[in-house]
Every structure is written in structure tokens, then in C-alpha cells.
Amino acid sequence: MTAISREGARRRTFAVISHPDAGKSTMTEALALHASAISEAGAVHGKAGRRGVTSDWMELERSRGISITSAALRLDYRDHVFNLVDTPGHADFSEDTYRVLAAVDCAVMLIDAAKGMEPQTMKLFEVCRHRRIPVITFVNKWDRPGRDALELLDEIEERTGLRPTPVTWPIGMPGDFHGVVDRLRGRASRYTRTPGGATKALESELTAERAQAELGRAWQQAVEEIGLLDAIGADHDQKTFEAHESTPVLFGAALSNFGVARLLDALVELAPAPAPRPDVAGVARPLDAPFSGLVFKVQANMDPAHRDRIAFVRVCSGRFERGMVLTHAATGRPFATKYAHAVFGQERTTLDEAYPGDVVGLVNATALRPGDTLYDGPAVAFPPIPSFAPEHFAVARARSSGKAKQFRRGIDQLDAEGVIQVLRSDLRGDQAPVLAAVGPMQFEVIQHRLAAEFGAEITLDRLEYTLARRTDPASAEAVARQRGAEVLTRSRDQALLALFTDRWRMRSIAADHPGLTLEPLIADTTREH
């Protein structure tokens, strides 16, 4: 095994996915706490007393108490390097989550013990299914009232098609949580909460005799249910897990830090290490090939003091060395990497080297966009990351004509980051671009960031369109003449997009004009078109 392969084997690159309010940011913070990356978790009881969690660095995230942008956290645990890529917690930002999932090798699917499989969880799971990303399931909030554990396993299997194989099993019903039985290790642990859940929960090993004496019926029920799991063969199998056919299941409570350390251990022991990644031709690039990396996220102004732009790059092969000059596959131009950082939320440290699975933050990466490939040595390009079809549209204008320059600069920046899709037409001009969003909260983020980062307050006039399709010049001419339709040019790639008020109007126009080119904007089955 080469040095690069050995280093790659120590990496675990994963994302946490969930429905909003399932506890994703709290779990991210708890993982950082148990990996000793922070001394106190940022999430405490109630949003009124909540300190900003490490991964929620944007002011709007802190004020709203939700994650609306992805963030990278680098953690060290048990001689392994974890690259935890946090994802937005709101469905309106699912496109950002889609990009993140292009860069990970495993996903932790967080489920609320009371609510089970929720709609946004299923949408994100479908992305994992499409990309064949192995999924570890963590049933969260077991310290609160919830549903029966066996019932939740049935729902997981019914909704996802994956066979649930519990690694741990709870002692006690939801809301009366005492600890877990570790089915892989053959032992039981009891948890004791610390004040506010700000520090690691105390964990003590239980013998069967002590558990029976102290926990009584709760212990007896856990033993009976584990006997049922044993009888049906619901045991972890690494091959079916990595083949996306089964999912290891753990139980706990992120807010109380119950079961979090066991999840970290499961990531070390079960989650796959980086593997060769197929290029656009379907040829897998070996881990020990010269450096290659995929840009999956671009973010500006994370540090208000510097106002720079950082591109998050997943190392796919080779050894990254700060200062190396790479080739930008999209343009063929050289790209210098003098300013390379490891990122922990909003904090950064200089990164001198990185290996497959690592996430490198490249500063002042003005030429890079999500989906771009960087490489050294033989040319390579990884498959691009497609855009979701927008469903909400609004015309943006600067409130003050004196801020026109800042307005245009801000719009261009946010377009380059992929925060929003910017559409333009000769009719409206550059002073009134059309912003296209997957969800309406994206408009709120745009307004906030333009005002806070560029000093340009804007007005938004909503348009009645709800559907977009890619078209060509010949079809565009015909569509543009129709009522309830408009054709605009997408700034990032100059694609022609036909907008329609609704699906019925699109079908009516297509029926009246056979042969029109009207193609969906994303070529997979993760969303309806």
C-alpha cells in the first residue's frame, strides 16, 4: 500500500442529512465535542438560550436557528481524520445539499424518534440512493416522547428499501432513556446527562445483573426485543451496507450527548474510506494517481475582516501540497494554491498537505465554480454537478441607484457561488435580473447577504412563473411569443431557459408547436420535473 493509500484509508468524509428540526446542527456540534475539537457544545436548551453552533457561521443562521448553508468541519478521532460536511437544514436549500453529497463517501441519516421518516429526509435519501452513498441511520431525540423502536425500523425499511440492522438498541422507551445495548460489542452502557448537555455525557458499563436490578422492566424489554432482532437475523453486514442495501441503526440523543461517541466509533469502523472516483468517461482515477479534486462549494465573505472567496475542494486522488500549481479543467488554465486552508466552521488554519477524502479550502478562488475539477499531471474531469430546476422567480432591483455597482457585483458573486440562479434578458437589462430559486427562503438569504456584505438593499418583484425548461434558439423564438411564457438566458452558462406559469401552460404551448425543445434542467430522478 502506498503512502497516499494509507493516508486515504484514515479518512472518513461524510455528511449529516435530515429533515429540518431533526437535530442536525446539534448532532454536528455533539460530534465535534466528542472528537475533542471543542470543549462545549453550542446547542443548549431552547433557541432563546442557544449560542451559535460551530457550523452555523452566517448571522442569518444564528438569528433564525437553522442551517441555511453548508459548512466543513475537520476533526481528528482515533487516529482518523473526519471531514464532516454539514448541510443546510431547510428544504429550500436542497440544491446546496445535493452538491455536498457529491463530495462524501457516506451519509448519517438523522431521524426524529417521534416523527420518523419525514419528507425532506426522503428527498435527501433519494440523492444518496442515486449516488449509491452508504447510509448510517441515527434515531435522535430518544430522550423525548416518541414512537416504538421496532415500528421505526419497519418504517425505515418500507420507505427506503434498506434493511435496518441495529448496531445499538435503546434501554427504555422514548422519553425514558437509560442507555443502549451494543449488539456488535456485546455490552450495555448507561448514560448520565451533564448540565445543559454542554459537555460529554457520562457513560458507565452495565452488567446484566446490575441492569436488571437498577432498570427492571426497561432492561427486560430491551433484552426481549434484541432476542427478536437476533431471531430475524437483523445483524450488520458490511457488504450489504456498502452496496446500499442495508443501513446500520443507532439510537441516542444529540442534545444530551447520548450515543454520540458510539456514532463516531461506527464511522471509524463501518463507514467506507475514499475509493477511486469515476471521471466523465466512467474511468475510475486511482487514489495514488496525481492530485485531482472536485469543487463542490464556493462561499464568499465567511470572514468579514477579509471579504475573500473560498472554494471547498474534495481531494479525489493524490497528495495535495500547498503552493502547487494545478490545472483548471474547465478552462485549461493554471491555478495556484498558495492560500490553502483547513476549515472548521468559520475558523481556518493553513493547510500544507491533504490526501484523498480531505476537504481543502482554496482562498480567492474567483475562477472556480461548483462542479469544477482541478488536477495535476494527466488531464481528468469529474462529472459536473447539475442544477435543480427552479420553481420561484423574482425580478431584483437595487433600492438606490447609487448602489448599482455594489448590486451588480453582489449578484455576480452570489451567482458564482450557486446561491441563486441569475437569469437575464435584453428586455429587462442588467439592472433588473431575474433571480431563480428552488425555494422562496433563498430570496431572503439573497436580500440579507446583498445588504450585509455588499451594502446594496434590494426590492424583489415576484413573477408568476413556476416552471423552467432548457430550450434552444429556434424554440426560444416561438416560446417568447406565447402568453404565460418567457425566455431568459442563465448567466452562469448562457443556457436558454423557457419559463412557464405552470405545467398546463407548458404542455399547451408544446401541443400547439410540435418539435419544441423543452428539456428538464437536471438529468436524474431526485426531483419531479
pLDDT tens for each residue of 148-171: 999 999 999 999 999 999 999 999
**Do the beta carbons of residue 328 and residue 366 sit within 8 Å?**
no
Confidence bin at 507 (pLDDT 50/70/90)? very high
SS3 217: helix
> For residues 177 and 189, is the Cβ–Cβ distance under 8 A?
no
pLDDT exceeds cutoff 70 at 373:
yes
pLDDT band at residue 55 under the 50/70/90 scheme: very low
469-498 residues labelled b (16+ CB within 10 A) or e (exposed) = bbbeeebbebbbebeebbbbbbbeeebbbb
CA distance 518 to 526: 19
The pair phi, psi for residue 457, each rounded to 5°, is -75, 145
CATH fold group of domain 277-375: Rossmann fold (3.40.50)
Is the pLDDT assigned to residue 50 strictly greater than 50?
no
Quick one: CA torsion of 492, 495, 501, 506, rounded to 10 degrees? -160
* Same fold? 13-73+88-269, 392-512: no
Angle, in degrees to the nearest 10, between helices 260-269 and 24-34: 80
Determine contact, residues 348/399, Cβ cutoff 8 Å.
no
Tens digit of pLDDT for each residue in 223-263? 999 999 999 999 999 999 999 999 999 999 999 999 999 99
The whole-angstrom separation of Cα 42 and Cα 44 is 6
Residue 332: pLDDT above 50?
Answer: yes
pLDDT at residue 3, as a whole number: 95
pLDDT tops 50 at residue 18: yes
Interatomic CA distance for residues 443 and 438, integer angstroms? 10
Q: Is residue 53's pLDDT more than 70?
A: no
- Cell for 523? 438529468
pLDDT, position 407 = 95
Strand partners, 104: none
Q: What is the pLDDT of residue 19?
A: 85
What is the tens place of the pLDDT at every residue in 201-212? 889 999 999 999
E strand intervals along 120-256: 135-140, 163-166, 168-171, 179-182, 187-192, 202-206, 246-251
Distance between CA atoms of residues 246 and 233, nearest Å = 12
Reported as a single tens digit per residue, the pLDDT across 444-480 is: 889 998 998 899 999 999 999 999 999 999 999 999 9
Task: Tell me the sheet residues that pair with 133.
Answer: none
* Band of pLDDT at residue 493, cut at 50, 70 and 90: confident
Helix (H, G, I), strand (E, B), or coil: what is residue 245?
A: coil
Cβ-contact 143, 170 below 8 angstroms: no
**DSSP-assigned letters across all residues of 259-317:** SHHHHHHHHHHTSPPP--EE-TTSPEEPTTSSPEEEEEEEEE-SSTTT--EEEEEEEEE
SS3 185: coil
8 Å CB contact between 124 and 104: no
pLDDT surpasses 50 at 83 = yes
Instruction: List residues forming the annotated binding site.
Output: 86-90
Q: Which residues, in sequence order, are CB contacts of 402 under 8 Å at separation 6+?
A: none
Q: What pLDDT shows up at residue 45?
A: 32
**β-strand partners of 294:** 314, 373
Give the closest residue to 121 by CA, choosing from 252, 31, 254, 24: 24
CA distance 163 to 96: 28
pLDDT at 346: 64
- Show the cell assigned to 519: 428539456
pLDDT at residue 286 above 80? yes
What is the SS3 assignment for 425?
coil
The predicted pLDDT at position 67 comes to 47
Count CB neighbours of 351 within 10 A.
Answer: 21
Q: Residue 84: helix, strand or coil by DSSP?
A: strand
- Band of residue 56 on the pLDDT scale cut at 50, 70, 90: very low
% of the chain with per-residue pLDDT over 90: 67
> End-to-end CA distance of the chain, in Å?
46
pLDDT at 132 over 70: yes
Residue 387 DSSP one-character state:
P
For the chain, the average pLDDT equals 88
Count of positions (residues) in the chain: 529
Distance between CA atoms of residues 425 and 497, nearest Å: 11
The pLDDT value recorded for residue 40 is 58
Per domain, the residue ranges of the chain are 13-73+88-269, 277-375, 392-512
Q: Which residues contact 286 (CB under 8 A, 6 or more apart)?
A: 276, 317
Pair 105, 274: CB distance under 8 Å? yes
Instruction: Provide the pLDDT confidence category of residue 301 given band limits of 50, 70 and 90.
Output: low
Query: Is it the case that residue 358 has pLDDT exceeding 70?
Result: yes
Query: What pLDDT shows up at residue 57?
Result: 42
DSSP letters, 138-170, are EEE-TTSS---HHHHHHHHHHHH-PEEEESEEE
The owner of cell 443546510 is 88
Q: Of 29, 3, 14, whose CA–CA distance to 268 is shortest?
A: 14
Domain 13-73+88-269 = CATH 3.40.50.150: no
Residue 500 above 50 pLDDT? yes
Give the pLDDT of residue 52: 42
For 110, list phi and psi in degrees, rounded to 5. Answer: -95, 125
With residue 340 as reference, give the H or E element that holds it.
Answer: strand 340-344
- Residue 46 pLDDT > 50, yes or no? no
Question: Which secondary structure element, helix H or strand E, spans residue 108, and what is its range?
Answer: strand 106-112
Q: Write down the pLDDT at residue 232.
A: 96
The whole-number pLDDT of residue 90 equals 61
| Amino acid at the residue 232 | I
What is the model's pLDDT at position 405? 94
Confidence band, pLDDT 50/70/90 cuts, at residue 92: low
**Spatial distance between the Cα atoms of 251 and 386, rounded to a whole number of angstroms:** 35
Tell me: pLDDT of 65 over 50. Answer: no
Confidence label for 305 from pLDDT (cuts 50, 70 and 90): low
pLDDT of residue 457: 96
User: Using an 8 Å Cβ cutoff, are 236 and 165 in contact?
Assistant: yes
Question: 10 Å Cβ neighbour count for 395?
Answer: 16
The reported pLDDT for the residue numbered 306 is 56
392-512 — its CATH code?
3.30.70.3280
Annotated binding site for GTP: 86-90
Looking at residue 71, its pLDDT comes to: 63
Confidence (pTM): 0.83
What pLDDT was estimated at residue 74? Answer: 87
Specify the higher pLDDT residue, 439 or 67: 439
